[in-house]
Amino acid sequence: MSRHPVPSREELASLEDDELERLSREWRARAARGDTRAYGVAHALEVEWRQRVRVSRAQQLPLPPETEPRRWWKFWRSRPGSAAAPSP
């Protein structure tokens, strides 16, 4: 990292995910011990880490099935294509 207290976007982008997580934990621990210079660095590292986690988890989600929306006025009918049970 540079001599500036808060890393730049380029510096954050160059870090691997594991290293970013490790650094964010280390800097948060420093901030928790009272190092006031560590707050900004810890925050920047954590924000970048959360964004990466959010994107990677969103990519793992399955796509929603493409279904035709049901008409609200046909709520008493069964789904199209399914056999309705005969009434007694």
How sure is the predictor about 84, in pLDDT bands with cuts at 50, 70 and 90? Answer: low
Specify the pTM.
0.58
Q: What is the pLDDT of residues 9-65, one digit of tens each?
A: 888 888 888 998 999 999 999 999 999 889 999 999 999 999 888 877 777 777 777
Buried b (16+ CB within 10 A) or exposed e, 9-20: eeebeebeeeeb
CA-to-CA dists, residue 60 to 6, 64, 80, angstroms: 31, 12, 30
Cβ neighbour number for residue 23 with a 10 Å cutoff:
20
- How many residues are listed for the chain in this entry? 88
Q: Are 2 and 11 in contact (CB under 8 A)?
A: yes
Domain borders along the chain are 9-60
Cβ neighbours of residue 78 closer than 8 Å, sequence gap 6 or more: 84
